[in-house]
Structure 1
Amino acid sequence: MSLCSSVIKTLIFFTCSLHLSSADTHSLKYFFTGVTPGINFPEFTLVGQVDGAQFVYYDSNIRKMIPTTEWIQKYVEEDYWNRETQKLQGNQGNIKASVDILMQRFNQTTGVHTVQLMYGCEFDDDGTVRGYRQEGYDGEDFISLDLKTETWTAAKQQALITKNKWDNDPSETVGRKNYLENICIEWLKMYMSYGRETLERKDPPTASVFQKHSPSPEVVCHATGFFPKEVTISWRKDGEDVNEDVELRETLPNEDRSFQKRSILKVPAEDLQKHTYTCVIQHSSLKEELVLEVPKGGGLMPIIVGVLVALVVLVAVVAGIMVWKKKNSGERWKEADVKFSENRFTLSNS
């Protein structure tokens, strides 16, 4: 694998997975990555998110944890940034050691390799809480914590050493469970109170539908400018749901801290002439679902149908968001987040 393709794989690993939840779900997430040195990319990075919106960032080049949204900068004292910066500077050595350990386990001596961690929590308005902690290596699952059984799940044979050590260490099981399901939720609620005006806003999507004819006929439904992050895009044929030949892309952030998403439907051109296809968008900002009819005439001219509102443009600091998707299961990985000060990077090599 070339250096370029390896880095691209890493970034895709962290951006393609999403946890689709209701509009009444709130989440706190932290994403970490460690990369082998020698490339034009920080060896260690952290991105923190609340409800899918970035609010803190750190990397090994700037060596400082910085706020990336106004509300966190307004409410958190300077001592907080200094304290967490010191912790993250210490974690750089730990994650570097983890990269070295896993390269040894996989019998690798050269190349670009990555260690990735995502962990955190979320709660629904009905009181349901969830926590996650998952780790990956080179864009694939490595080990994760099962909070129900309070045990670790090894996705690779090379992770069994770590699993056995952590399963026998209460601080790696019961302690983390308490943090993810209780302490993390307290931090999330505190951050929600700080950024309520921003985080609880409802921005409706602007949507368009257009046809593409190369390399194969397909119809694209694109929604953008919406907040919060959760959105549903589906297809109908003559009023009936269509589930086959549909490619749902990941939800991506815009620079104004809103989101965008697209769904692609592969359909023969003759079917478009015989039947009525519609794209249906559901979002918490909409009183009723948004329905866009696919034009029968073809071409690339979009039909702009969505409701457009004035968006307050905040200072955007966009960083690589790190998430991976489950390789051997049809279920999507749920995004994981948590207060990074509780993180322990070093993997067992004994």
Structure 2
Amino acid sequence: MAAAASPANLLPLAILPHLLFDWSGTGRADAHSLWYNFTIIHLPRHGQRWCEVQSQVDQKNFLSYDCGSDKILSMGHLEEQLDATDAWGKQLEMLRDVGQRLRLELADTEKEDFPPSGPLTLQARMSCECEADGCIRGSWQFSFNGQKFLLFDSNNGKWTAVQDGARRLKEKWEKDSELTMFFKMVLRDCKSWLRYFLTHRKKRLEPTAPPTVAPGLAQPKAKATTLSPWSFLIILCFILPGI
């Protein structure tokens, strides 16, 4: 018959679910997401921003950024702590580059695929989502004047036309290997930032100092005592009477 498990043996089994729970590196088993919503206007009116980014982490406002003038419009408390980090500066640099690239693509698209009836607006959503199993997926969604046109999945590298009018643009962007690689590389950075932001948030929520004992409740430390050779001999005599 197998011997019953002792409490010491059961302890590792008791904490195993918690170890698996934290294995994703985020400290949570649910999904997380990081979104960057770009709004690009090719010919903006006076006083109108031609490039603006709204960002969300777990569907909560994360950052509002004017990528045309390189100005931060608003950000949350966590982002204020990240402001001085190297990753934060690289993030803003990426947002500026993406805004410039989307503006060039919008200008070419307006000439070829849309009649010049008015200023054309491009909405591009870059999203990175971390599933419960720790896998992170990245994708792009492109809309023109509020109508969804194209989707791009970085995992399989495929472009998808959402409506018939987007087939020509899909074929054009699909053949542009340099443009496809650009969107892939940016999504790769997006995945890294999602991990970084979640790790930083976890560290911020963890206690940074051990609990302190209230004054007056601390127990006095016992003073160390030393025995003389004669005292030690007397004790041995009581313990071992045959000596």
TM-score (norm 2): 0.57
- Larger deviation: 154-163 or 110-119? 154-163
Matched, 1:154 2:161: yes
Task: Find the structure with the greater CA-based Rg.
Answer: 2
- Larger deviation: 37-46 or 171-180? 171-180
Give unpaired runs (5+ residues) of structure 2: 1-28, 206-243
SS of match in other structure, 1:195? helix
Alpha-carbon separation, structure 1, partners of 2:130 and 2:38: 22
Taking structure 1 as reference, are residues 75 and 174 closer, same or farther at Cα in structure 2, changes over 3 Å only?
closer
Match of 2:37 in 1: 31
Give unpaired runs (5+ residues) of structure 1: 1-22, 200-350
SS of match in other structure, 2:134? coil
Matched, 1:45 2:46: no
Alpha-carbon separation, structure 1, partners of 2:82 and 2:66: 23
Match of 2:129 in 1: 122
**How many residues align structurally?**
177
Higher strand share: 1
Higher helix share: 2
State how 1:92-131 maps to structure 2 within 5 Å.
92-131=99-138
Taking structure 1 as reference, are residues 67 and 192 closer, same or farther at Cα in structure 2, changes over 3 Å only?
farther
Taking structure 1 as reference, are residues 110 and 175 closer, same or farther at Cα in structure 2, changes over 3 Å only?
closer
Taking structure 1 as reference, are residues 64 and 165 closer, same or farther at Cα in structure 2, changes over 3 Å only?
same
Alpha-carbon separation, structure 1, partners of 2:169 and 2:58: 31
Report how far residue 101 of structure 1 moved. 2.5
Percent identity reads 27
Taking structure 1 as reference, are residues 66 and 192 closer, same or farther at Cα in structure 2, changes over 3 Å only?
farther
Alpha-carbon separation, structure 2, partners of 1:61 and 1:151: 29
Report the aligned-residue RMSD. Answer: 3.6
State how 1:1-350 maps to structure 2 within 5 Å.
24-35=30-41, 36-38=43-45, 41-59=48-66, 62-65=69-72, 68-77=75-84, 83-147=90-154, 149-156=156-163, 159-170=166-177, 172-173=179-180, 176=183, 180=187, 183-196=189-202
Report how far residue 159 of structure 1 moved. 3.8
Alpha-carbon separation, structure 2, partners of 1:49 and 1:112: 27
Contact 2:125/2:142, CA 8 A, preserved across alignment: yes
TM-score (norm 1): 0.42
